Amino acid sequence: MEDQFESRFGLRPKWRIECPGRVNIIGEHIDYHGYSVLPMALSVKTTLLVAPISQSEIRFENVDDFFEGHTECLPSNWERQMKPLWFHYLLAGWKEIVHEFGLDQKGFAILMDSSIPSSAGLSSSSSLVCAAALASLTVHTHGFPWKIIDKVRLAELCMKAEHRIGTVGGGMDQAAECLSQSGSALHISFNPLRCESVSLPSHCIFVVADSMERKNKAASNDFNSRVVEGRISTALLAKGLGIEKWKDMKTLKDVQEESSFTLEKLIEKCNDLPEQLNVIQVRELIGDHFDAISTQDTVENSSFTIRARAIHVYSEALRVQLFKVACFSEDINEMARLMNDSHSSCSQSYECSTPQMDKLVSSLITEGGALGARLTGAGWGGCAVALFHSDYLAKGDFPSHLNILFHSKPAEGIAIVHL
């Protein structure tokens, strides 16, 4: 890769940035509602080779010639594109750093490679954003970014950076990719960002399988629709519970903290929510507050699902708590049950699965011998993660139609190497 960099740019790279993908073991679509999640970093990763250049431009090249290179002239006022290209994720990371630190726009060259399957739910896009943010800091600090930032702050800025692409996530991907330690999963809590390493039982192993379906979540409004449906649920639930400042409730977790109800009690309270509303009905119930909580690509949605979305968030948050306890007690069967319940909720209540994904998850258990399995990532295709007893996994190969990508090993988070 270093020789390719020299061939394309006419100089040697000075730094290598490595940022892993991640697999979310449990806790899907709840980070942007303030609830904790339990992912781990993977050995597959984004790699950027970087060097400063004298020209007032950023030059982007990709090892895969399918992706056309790009030169961004400086100074640049780049803004979100409705259909993002690969280098837009790098520009998002760069722009957030330049904005946050008030930096002059220095020229540099980037060559990118990635072993993370794209649009597979393994956070390839967030890995790009995080790697670009660290690359930008590295150029501006002459190779010593950790003198002005720590990895927690980097993760927080990278979450904001990805919003520049149009994906309103909650920070799980960036935290897992920046803060993971080799050999452990991470229990990640938000507001403020806190991480706790969680040891996985020695007799279990996780396997990632590919559904062979791909969907760019930034190129459709499915993801943002779920975000907005959760915000509507938050407003309606808070209002229904008599919370005076219901418009100040940003997430479903805010409602829990204000009401002091347990997750189990809130799941019951969700049954009072309407199942589905159209835009006119939403405005009748919460007025102009809808304009404050909707996104540009969801204001004209024909309908919003309410009750099922809120039930998923609260029940999934409870499953994360129980899964962590099961890890500590090394109860692999309970871990598997919670993963299976998680997938059922993602498929039926959150509707972020597909028939093909449902079939893969079922086949991993019935044909592959998994104890539990579920979709991972945003959904709508991508990958599934399955839990196996390590003794069973050692017995032989999987049926080829299960499309096993790799056995997971918790990996290290983002890193910089001086060349």
DSSP string, 294-332: --TTTTT-S-EE-HHHHHHHHHHHHHHHHHHHHHHTT-H
Q: How many residues does the chain have?
A: 419
Domains of the chain (ranges plus CATH)?
Answer: 2-198+411-418 (3.30.230.10), 219-311 (1.20.1440.340)
In angstroms, rounded to a whole number, what is the distance separating the alpha carbons of residues 26 and 36? 10
In angstroms, rounded to a whole number, what is the distance separating the alpha carbons of residues 248 and 255? 10
Residue 215: its pLDDT value, please?
66
Q: What is the mean pLDDT of residues 147-158?
A: 95
Q: What is the 3-state secondary structure (H, E, C) of 59-94?
A: EEEECCCCCCCEEEECCCCCCCCCCCCHHHHHHHHH
pLDDT > 90? residue 120: no
- CA distances in angstroms from 255 to 147, 241, 243, 260, 308, listed in the order given: 38, 9, 8, 8, 17
In angstroms, rounded to a whole number, what is the distance separating the alpha carbons of residues 175 and 169? 12
The token pair at 368 is 């592959």
What element of type H or E holds 417? strand 415-418
State the amino acid at position 97 in one-letter form.
Answer: I
- SS3 call for 352: coil
Find out whether 9 and 111 touch, Cβ atoms under 8 Å: yes
Q: What is the mean pLDDT of residues 78-98?
A: 92
Chain centre to alpha carbon of residue 68: 25
In angstroms, rounded to a whole number, what is the distance separating the alpha carbons of residues 409 and 44? 10
Cis before 39 (ω within 30): no
Q: Please provide residue 418's backbone torsions phi and psi, each rounded to the nearest 5 degrees.
A: -80, 130
pLDDT > 70? residue 76: yes
Site of tokens 């299960």: 402
Q: What is the 3-state secondary structure (H, E, C) of 163-227?
A: HCCCCCCCCHHHHHHHHCCCCCEEEEECCCCEEEEECCCCCEEEEEEECCCCCCHHHCCHHHHHH
Angle, CA 67 vertex, CA 78 and CA 172 arms, to 5°: 65
Q: What is the mean pLDDT of residues 232-257?
A: 97
N-to-C CA span, the chain: 12
What is the reported pTM? Answer: 0.84
- 57-62/108-114 β-pairing: parallel
Q: Round the CA-based radius of gyration of the chain to a whole number and report it.
A: 22
Residue 399: its pLDDT value, please?
82
- SS3 call for 12: coil
Active-site annotation, residues: 173
pLDDT > 80? residue 10: yes
Residue 326: its pLDDT value, please?
96
Q: Is 351 left (phi over 0), alpha (psi -120 to 50) or beta?
A: left
Of the listed ranges 114-128, 225-239, 294-308, the one predicted with least confidence: 114-128
Find out whether 51 and 106 touch, Cβ atoms under 8 Å: no
The token pair at 299 is 């204001």
pLDDT > 60? residue 218: no
pLDDT > 80? residue 111: yes
Find out whether 182 and 219 touch, Cβ atoms under 8 Å: no
Residue 395: its pLDDT value, please?
62
The token pair at 92 is 């998002």
Residue 4: its pLDDT value, please?
97
Predicted confidence band at 88 (pLDDT cuts at 50, 70, 90)? Answer: very high
